A and B are shown apart, each in its own frame.
Chain A
Amino acid sequence: MISSIRVGAKSNWAIAICAVVLLVFFLVSILAPWIAPHDPIQVNLALKLSSPSWEYPLGTDHLGRCNLSRLLYGARVSLGFASLIFVASLGVGLLVGTIAGYRGGWIDLFLMRFCDGVMAFPNLVLVLGIVGLLGPGLWQVVLALMMVQWVYYARMIRGMVVSMKQQNFITAARISGSSTGKIIRRHLVPNVLPPILVMGTLEMGWAIMDISALSFLGLGIQPPTPEWGAMIQEGKNFIRSQPELMLYPGLMILLVVISFNVLGESLSERFGVKRRY
């Protein structure tokens, strides 16, 4: 009893801290144009690789661009596109999952076999294959990550819909004359969403990691757009003289991803949501 209270309190703390960290990052990404001291892609070769000063609090990179501004704008790119991928794949997953689960029959069979097919691949291998064939670029990466992620939402939502379909409140809604569309909108979706959002928290962390990894490989966000993974790629050339160039963006990724992971895990522990490995 006492230990369970203690565990609860501990996970409350973890949830609060991570939520605050993420809130700050989201605020930074929205407010970047106003709080960044400089234009993140403004090249100034006279000031290249300068040390921290009042004007450039974290110094400048090899093209004389303000490091702090690039880091702040980087939050915008990472969080923005991760959110986009999350919303888009959740949307597709919700559509496919509810249709498959509610309708059943051959539609269900077909859609789920397709999901199984996609899940049979190692995730990032498929993403790399898609990006490889469509060509490097930001939108290709977003599309590829979305194409791989929606499957997990669809699978999970379908499972929940199938078990929910048997329950009395759905039967009651049907007897009282609600249309299929209304049942899905009013009864199934609201019940399915909370655990899916918990799962989505973990997926956000993965999406940010994947975006930065692909940008690091040169397949995602192209220079000069400030993105953390791409900044590490550029900064690594100065590892002997200016290691902080690659140190800062990595710390940002680590901080955001670890917050998403801890938050997601604490939430799923709390609400008993099973996570995938």
Chain B
Amino acid sequence: MATYLIKRLLAIIPIVLFAIFLMFILIRLSPVDPAEAYLAAANIHPTEGLLAEKRQEFGLDQSLIVQYFQTVKNIVQLDFGNSYVTNTPVWQEVAARMPATIQLALSSILLAVIVSVPLGFLSAVYKNSLIDHFSRLLSYLGASIPQFWLGYILIFFFAVKLDLFPVEGRGTWQHFVLPSVTLSMALIAIYTRLLRASVLEELEEVYVLYARTRGIKEKAIMVKHVLRIAISPMLTGLGMNLGKLLTGTIIVEQVFSWPGFGRFFIEAIFNRDIPVIQSYVVLAACLFIVCNLIVDIVQLYLDPRISWKGRTEY
């Protein structure tokens, strides 16, 4: 267990280094001069002297290799630099906005699980029934509907026409409803299909037949055995679709004026706030990897057939 964890954690290092490297190259390739971007974002009129001063401060006059190692060193020390716009450390900005984004993401995952577990399970057990067709339609729609459009459609019906929920902002539970529904649609589409497929696969297994011949109640077989194992691919899906969730939060936050990290990131793109953009990408990569690791660990508990030992080969 410990060796497995350590190995997996060590595997994060090259990926983060790669992320930093990619961002570093892109910043150099970009036509935008960080010194100019800084002055523009801070509303300072650029003069030659100021530009030269800023370039020196950002270390742009040093060789590329020195600059790269400086960047890596800073990020390892969790120093992402200061935002060009607010001139406060990016780390603080992130910490201030992250809770809103995480709340939104978690409530959408929760909603997606609540909807897709029964739906996927029932559409596998009652294959080709009405509920199966319904879930197929829902997952095609969920996978193909543009999230921002869905957001406005929900606003139109539930906020403008029926006046049930607030249009934008954050505070009460009502504020959560429309953004979470919007964000969870894409997840529901995937999870429902995944769970349906894996339940169908498990139903063919010998242990189901054995449990049936032993006379165990069908309900007990389904819930205690089949569902418990069939849910495992869904967890992998959860980890793999985290990217979708992350970019989803960017769009949904924009639609509902949700004060999270995603909106901050979009603002940063328009302001050419390079430290914020860089840290968003690096943090997103880290988050993605760590969540996948957590998913793998949870999976080990759910499916006893996967052993720690086999996994250490990873």
Report B133 CB to chain A, min CB distance, Å. Answer: 11
Chain B residue contacts of A124, Cβ below 8 A: 243-244, 246-247, 250
A258 adjacent to chain B (CB < 8 Å): yes
Chain A residue contacts of B251, Cβ below 8 A: 213, 216-217
A129–B156 CB distance below 8 A = no
Report A95 CB to chain B, min CB distance, Å. Answer: 20
Docked pose: A186 CA to B251 CA in angstroms: 45
The A contact surface, by secondary structure, is helix
Kindly report which residue of chain B lies nearest to residue A250, judged by CB atoms: B149
B280–A125 CB distance below 8 A = yes
A117–B274 CB distance below 8 A = no
Chain B residue contacts of A218, Cβ below 8 A: 270
A133-B23, A216-B251, A239-B160 known; A258 vs B281 contact (CB < 8 Å): no
Docked pose: A253 CA to B152 CA in angstroms: 14
A246–B149 CB distance below 8 A = yes
Counting chain B residues whose Cβ lies within 8 A of the other chain, the interface size class is: 35 or more
A129-B277, A131-B269 known; A239 vs B156 contact (CB < 8 Å): yes
- Convert A238-254 into 0s and 1s, putting 1 for each residue whose CB lies closer than 8 angstroms to a CB of B: 01100100110110011
Pick the contact of B146: A120, A128, A229, A236 (CB < 8 A). Answer: A229
B237–A132 CB distance below 8 A = no
Of residues A132, A240, A246, A258, which shows the largest number of chain B Cβ atoms within 10 Å of its Cβ?
A132
- Convert A168-208 into 0s and 1s, putting 1 for each residue whose CB lies closer than 8 angstroms to a CB of B: 00000000000000000000000000000000000001000
Chain A residue contacts of B84, Cβ below 8 A: none
Known: A121-B281, A129-B26. 4 other contacts (CB 8 A): A129-B281, A209-B146, A213-B146, A243-B160
- Where the two chains meet, the residues of B that have a C-beta atom closer than 8 Å to any C-beta of A are 14-15, 18-19, 22-23, 26-27, 29-32, 140-141, 143-149, 152-153, 155-156, 160, 190, 237, 240-244, 246-247, 250-251, 254, 265-266, 268-270, 272, 274, 277-278, 280-281, 284-285, 288-289
